[in-house]
């Protein structure tokens, strides 16, 4: 265990892994995660001593993020709403070296997973995490999971209000909530405060969107019953406007109705989307509102509490008058840099700053994977260039949210050297992909090698850029962890008599509204998947008008031309 000591900078700061710009734990927040580690250590010891059955321990370890996968136990660590610090990232590097095989995998839910652990070491690992205010509480199991949010929260120009304080308030309310620790199925909440929904909220069990009502007050639009998997559904609005002070009482009412009425006889019909779907949204809403009326006045969320949490997310003291000359010069003289700048950075609400998207889609690694060395490098770069904070994103990349324009060239060089600057953000090669058959016990088919085939096929950057924004998502089974149903191009791995096949859907999307993709036709053999993607791309190139995106062309011409091309020779 001592072979990889923590970097000395981290030991100095071991008192706290947190920084201005993120929620800072007080003694109670810290005490809770420390107590949870001690409790889990005891549970694990009782299991190893044979006092807890496999089944009983399974539920307890799931509540702490530990699955048993194909090769070894996997641990999913919570990154609340995707925001974490350099110290925390260094700790993740330390964990991957000490307990795992020197890498980790970022998920679509902004968390990170480690795949090669030993059960008996997990309590020590969790204690290490708690030393930097991190935990794995409720990252799996039939309970309220990590609340996800917009990776550009607080820096996006299209934002009405920063959603993260509300995410943190929800994190605290949902953490070890006694009534909702044994729900019919997992429960996911997402919050967004921007015009563009970068958190795909409508595929969550509860989607909260900050909106303004006719009197100018900001509150939440509440939608319920989204989810992917076997029965993909888009969340439906149950309350167009909810005052902030009622946030927690409303959540509590929804959860109480679901806990009592959700199906428990069939795990594939146990999500709240099935309850809402079978009752109808009106009947469901009526039940929720009745319950809510009874509890709302006793559960007021005080403005003082909102303000207390908000204070931790206050904007940084941004520099003014940053000289644009250097950036302009580098852009003119270095086309590779210019290309990266164009594709891997986006607008910041403050002039002189940009948001940098750190690509975890290198053709040399599985989508979302990051090595221990890259973890340390990104932690140090965030420290140097972005106030010591990082964000993980829905599309399995990282973000440095607050980079000065004048630092971009130096940052790019450092990222490029670490293979973290693949200039394909938002393109077809920036695909979302689950771990698939290679790691996951649930998977029917592999996804990582197929992803690599596709990325190789589209490695010509000019060709890739010409295709523009295409959202490709690939899951290794029906559970749909990579959200294939809402990909512009969705690919689902299935197993037919021991052979891996791939079903395509086209036209899914998730922006301000969301829509599920339509099935292209019969499943495709593994060897033909990359070919099929290419044929689909060709149809788009031939048929598109002016600046039309792939998905817009699809909705104009329909699925038939794609079907015709893909299946013509079969």
Partner 1 sequence: MKVINNRQIVDDSWQAIDDESNIKQLPDNKIIISLAFWNKHKQSLTARDDALGITLNPEDDVAEIAADLSSFALVVLQFPAFRDGRAYSQARNLRLHYDYQGEIRASGNVLRDQLAFMERVGFNSFEIDDHQDINDAINGFDEIEVKYQASSDESLPLYKRLTV
Choose one: 23-31, 197-205, 389-397, 540-548; the region binding partner 1 (CB under 8 A). 23-31
- Residue 351 CB, shortest distance to partner 1, in Å, is 37
Residue from 17, 22, 43, 247 binding partner 1 (CB under 8 A): 43
- Residue 18 CB, shortest distance to partner 1, in Å, is 17
Between 214 and 265, name the residue whose CB sits nearer to partner 1: 265
User: In sequence order, which residues have a C-beta less than 8 Å from that of residue 148 and are 6 or more positions away?
Assistant: 81, 82, 109, 110, 167, 188, 189, 190, 191, 199, 204, 394
The residue count for binding partner 1 (CB under 8 A) is 40
Beta-bridge partners for 223:
207, 237
Tokens of 297: 């006045």
Report the distance separating Cα 98 and Cα 353, nearest Å. Answer: 37
Residue from 118, 182, 212, 496 binding partner 1 (CB under 8 A): 182
3-state secondary structure 191-252: EECECCCCCCHHHCCEEEEEEECCCCCEEEEEEECCECCCCCECCEEEEEEEEHHHHHHHHH
- Contact track, partner 1, 341-370, x by CB under 8 A: ------------------------------
**Sign of the dihedral through C-alpha 304, 306, 311, 312:** positive
Between 29 and 534, name the residue whose CB sits nearer to partner 1: 29
Can residue 260 be called a binding residue for partner 1 (CB under 8 A)? yes
Between 32 and 211, name the residue whose CB sits nearer to partner 1: 32
Residue 161 CA neighbour count, 13 Å, CB half: 18
User: In sequence order, which residues have a C-beta less than 8 Å from that of residue 99 and are 6 or more positions away?
Assistant: 114, 117, 118, 121, 122, 124, 125
- Residue 294 CB, shortest distance to partner 1, in Å, is 6
Residue from 120, 179, 417, 542 binding partner 1 (CB under 8 A): 179
Residue from 15, 31, 297, 564 binding partner 1 (CB under 8 A): 31
Can residue 496 be called a binding residue for partner 1 (CB under 8 A)? no
Beta-bridge partners for 355:
346
Residue from 9, 101, 119, 177 binding partner 1 (CB under 8 A): 177
- Residue 229 CB, shortest distance to partner 1, in Å, is 19
Can residue 183 be called a binding residue for partner 1 (CB under 8 A)? yes
Can residue 32 be called a binding residue for partner 1 (CB under 8 A)? yes
- CB atoms under 10 Å from CB of 46, counted, come to 14
C-alpha dist (Å) from residue 443 to 28, 67, 112, 448: 39, 14, 19, 12
Can residue 138 be called a binding residue for partner 1 (CB under 8 A)? no
What are the φ and ψ backbone dihedral angles of 103, each rounded to 5 degrees? Answer: -155, 170
Can residue 522 be called a binding residue for partner 1 (CB under 8 A)? no
Tell the residue number behind the tokens 């260039």, with chain if given.
385
Select from 255, 252, 260 the least CA-distant residue to 294.
Answer: 252
Site for partner 1 in 227-256 (CB under 8 A): 248, 256
Between 59 and 334, name the residue whose CB sits nearer to partner 1: 59
- For the chain, the distance separating the N- and C-terminal CA atoms, rounded to the nearest angstrom, is 56
Between 181 and 559, name the residue whose CB sits nearer to partner 1: 181
Residue from 24, 60, 72, 461 binding partner 1 (CB under 8 A): 60
Residue from 295, 326, 350, 557 binding partner 1 (CB under 8 A): 295
- Residue 168 CB, shortest distance to partner 1, in Å, is 11
Select from 372, 255, 355 the least CA-distant residue to 6.
Answer: 372
What are the φ and ψ backbone dihedral angles of 241, each rounded to 5 degrees? Answer: -150, 125
Site for partner 1 in 298-337 (CB under 8 A): 298-299, 302, 304-305, 308
Can residue 28 be called a binding residue for partner 1 (CB under 8 A)? yes
Select from 241, 246, 242, 202 the least CA-distant residue to 224.
Answer: 202
Between 271 and 354, name the residue whose CB sits nearer to partner 1: 271
- Residue 255 CB, shortest distance to partner 1, in Å, is 9
- Residue 181 CB, shortest distance to partner 1, in Å, is 5
Can residue 269 be called a binding residue for partner 1 (CB under 8 A)? no
Can residue 56 be called a binding residue for partner 1 (CB under 8 A)? yes
Helices (H) and strands (E) in the chain, counts: 19, 23
Tokens of 161: 């209000």
Q: What angle do CA 147, 153, 154 make, to 5 degrees?
A: 135
Can residue 24 be called a binding residue for partner 1 (CB under 8 A)? no
Choose one: 30-38, 114-122, 443-451, 470-478; the region binding partner 1 (CB under 8 A). 30-38
Report the distance separating Cα 178 and Cα 11, nearest Å. Answer: 35
Between 268 and 324, name the residue whose CB sits nearer to partner 1: 268
Report the distance separating Cα 394 and Cα 82, nearest Å. Answer: 9
- Residue 126 CB, shortest distance to partner 1, in Å, is 14
Report the distance separating Cα 330 and Cα 353, nearest Å. Answer: 16
- Residue 173 CB, shortest distance to partner 1, in Å, is 6
Residue from 72, 218, 231, 264 binding partner 1 (CB under 8 A): 264
Can residue 49 be called a binding residue for partner 1 (CB under 8 A)? no
Q: Evaluate whether 484 touches 492 at the Cβ level (below 8 Å).
A: yes
Q: Evaluate whether 1 touches 98 at the Cβ level (below 8 Å).
A: yes
- Residue 21 CB, shortest distance to partner 1, in Å, is 21
Q: Contact positions toward partner 1, by CB under 8 A?
A: 28-29, 31-32, 35-36, 38-39, 42-43, 51-52, 56, 59-60, 142, 172-173, 175-183, 248, 256, 259-260, 264, 294-295, 298-299, 302, 304-305, 308
């Amino acid at each position: 265990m001592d072979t990889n000591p923590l970097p000395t900078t981290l030991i100095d700061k071991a008192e706290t892994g947190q920084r201005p710009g993120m929620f800072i734990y007080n003694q109670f927040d810290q005490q809770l995660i420390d107590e949870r580690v001690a409790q889990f250590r005891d549970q694990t010891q009782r299991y190893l001593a044979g006092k807890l059955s496999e089944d009983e321990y399974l539920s307890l370890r799931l509540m702490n993020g530990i699955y048993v996968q194909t090769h070894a136990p996997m641990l999913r660590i919570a990154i609340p709403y995707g925001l974490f610090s350099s110290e925390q990232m260094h700790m993740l590097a330390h964990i991957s070296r000490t307990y795992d095989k020197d890498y980790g995998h970022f998920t679509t839910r902004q968390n990170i997973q480690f795949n090669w652990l030993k059960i008996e070491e997990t309590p020590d690992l969790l204690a290490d995490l708690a030393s930097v205010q991190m935990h794995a509480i409720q990252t799996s199991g039939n309970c309220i999971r990590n609340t996800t949010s917009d990776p550009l929260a607080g820096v996006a120009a299209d934002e009405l209000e920063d959603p993260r304080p509300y995410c943190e308030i929800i994190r605290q309310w949902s953490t070890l909530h006694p009534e909702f620790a044994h729900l019919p199925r997992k429960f996911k909440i997402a919050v967004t405060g921007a015009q563009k929904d970068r958190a795909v909220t409508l595929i969550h069990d509860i989607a909260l969107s900050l909106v303004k009502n006719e009197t100018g007050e900001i509150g939440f639009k509440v939608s319920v019953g989204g989810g992917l998997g076997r029965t993909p559904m888009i969340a439906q609005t149950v309350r167009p406007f909810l005052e902030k002070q009622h946030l927690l009482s409303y959540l509590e009412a929804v959860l109480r109705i679901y806990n009592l009425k959700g199906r428990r006889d069939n795990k594939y019909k146990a999500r709240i989307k099935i309850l809402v779907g079978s009752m109808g949204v009106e009947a469901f809403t009526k039940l929720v509102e009745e319950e809510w009326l009874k509890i709302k006045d006793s559960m007021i969320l005080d403005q003082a509490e909102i303000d207390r949490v908000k204070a931790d997310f206050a904007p940084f003291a941004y520099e003014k008058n940053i000289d644009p000359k250097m950036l302009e010069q580098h852009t003119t003289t270095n086309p590779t840099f210019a290309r990266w700048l164009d594709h891997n950075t986006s607008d910041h609400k403050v002039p002189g700053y940009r948001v940098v998207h750190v690509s975890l889609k290198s053709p040399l690694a599985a989508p979302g994977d990051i090595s221990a060395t890259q973890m340390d490098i990104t932690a140090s770069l965030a420290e140097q260039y972005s106030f010591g904070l990082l964000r993980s994103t829905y599309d399995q990349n990282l973000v440095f949210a607050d980079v000065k324009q004048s630092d971009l060239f130096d940052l790019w060089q450092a990222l490029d050297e670490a293979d973290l600057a693949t200039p394909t953000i938002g393109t077809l090669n920036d695909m979302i992909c689950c771990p698939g058959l290679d790691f996951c016990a649930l998977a029917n088919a592999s996804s990582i090698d197929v992803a690599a085939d596709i990325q190789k096929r589209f490695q010509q950057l000019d060709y890739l850029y010409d295709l523009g924004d295409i959202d490709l998502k690939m899951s290794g089974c029906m559970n749909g962890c990579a959200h294939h149903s809402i990909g512009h191009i969705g690919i689902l791995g299935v197993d037919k008599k021991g052979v891996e096949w791939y079903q395509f859907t086209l036209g899914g999307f998730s922006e301000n509204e969301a829509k599920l993709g339509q099935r292209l036709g019969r499943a495709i053999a593994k060897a033909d998947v990359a070919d099929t993607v290419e044929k689909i791309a060709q149809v788009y190139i031939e048929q598109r008008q002016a600046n039309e995106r792939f998905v817009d062309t699809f909705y104009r011409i329909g699925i038939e031309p794609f079907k015709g091309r893909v299946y013509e020779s079969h």
